[in-house]
Structure 1
Amino acid sequence: MTDRRNELATNLAAVEERISSACAAAGRKREEVTLIVVTKTYPASDVRLLHELGVRNVAENRDQDAAPKAEACSDLDLSWHFVGQLQTNKVRSVASYADVVQSVDRLKLVGALSSAAVKAERELGCLIQVALDADAGTRGERGGVAPDGIDELAAAVAEAPGLRLDGLMTVAPLAGPFAGRQRAAFERMMEFSSSLRAGHPAANMVSAGMSADLEEAVGAGATHVRVGTAVLGVRPRLG
């Protein structure tokens, strides 16, 4: 365990240096960017070590992995972020432990999350996941609503009992006009965020950037970066 703790500490320090350097280059304060460590496929023991090392925000993308892990770590002061595509039949479980659902991309999901949050007597933070590769009226390959659907979804979340509209999330697209242009993609997201805040001033969170492109996200103005591999190591192939 000591070896694993040292490995995680070393990796965290390297990621911290990258975020700090990116903030300095962008003229931003380090505290403007929150690191979320994506712990998917890794055990609860790693989550506990990360907590020891100062991590307070962790993310999961599959409820069947996240629910038992959150339960095993329920004694820790952690914020759990759900970042995967979410099916409505998993909403009740996710609403029992997640503090923020970053992958809200359709009206049906808003209704399901609202009902589950009210039943659980919890308030769920919600991010609208935006797919920069989606055409008007469609969803992206990896989830996310097309940009023209942001306002409708945001209004629905803002009005829904038990939900709190926190902002926007995106994944750098692999196709479309922004493919291979992460900085441009994230700058476009900041424009959407600015428009959203005009009607919803408190919805100022922008979750963008991962291990490979966190510098571009920080440079564009992201408030949260989601880093897995750079902290925990390369995930084993499943199957």
Structure 2
Amino acid sequence: MASFKPTKIPVVQQLGEKVTEDTRYWKSFKTTVQVKEFGAITKIDFSPLPPHNYAVTASTRVQVYGPHSQEPQRSFTRFKSTAYGGTFRGDGQLLVTGSEEGLIRLFDVNGRVSLRQYNGHNKAVRVTSFLSDGFHIVSGSDDLTCRVWDVSTAQELFRFSDHTDYIRALAPSTRNPDLFITGSYDHTVRVYDVRQEKCVMSMDHGQPVESVLVYPSDGLIVSTAVALPAVAPPDCY
């Protein structure tokens, strides 16, 4: 009988993980922290100034969190129905929101009560923002209009009614305080110029537009949309 020869498994020396700038960067992150809200989150917006607190709009409230805290620093709850689109001003001191009831509210991030209330829309205001000068607010609504408001007087300055379906996306120009972009379920993206009091450009996305973004250079616009399912042709007999 032949003698048994065991298999020799070579032992390979294990090398330590190669340390690079990339691995050091990812290891600097801490474990994930989960913060539970009371309803569907419609928007998260970061303050442009340090310490870069962020506002979470969900259900009937807007809550402001610090970067290292799981508890809200401020909670704005004066909404009778769903709140939408909480957005910081460029100086991080003011916050504007829309609502299901068609009202726009302005808050001081260091306070608790509403500073201003803007009345005029007759359906839900889904998107709100400040123009880049910080003195004007722009809003988009399910009543098919987008409007420009004066921050201090709460007066409606301009109303645009070019869209033929719900307005669900809004982005102000970062360089020009007179320009802003809207996106709608009518499949179009429109550029408005307050100086000319009209839409100066319209683009067909081909699907219901959910979000728009303006590049910091103002040279490019990005839009995203809901892809509608293809409709099968009817059967022929």
TM-score, shorter chain, exceeding 0.5: no
Larger fraction in helix:
1
Larger fraction in strand:
2
TM-score normalised by structure 2 residue count: 0.29
Q: Which has the higher contact order (CA 8 A, sep 6+)?
A: 1
Higher CA-based Rg: 2
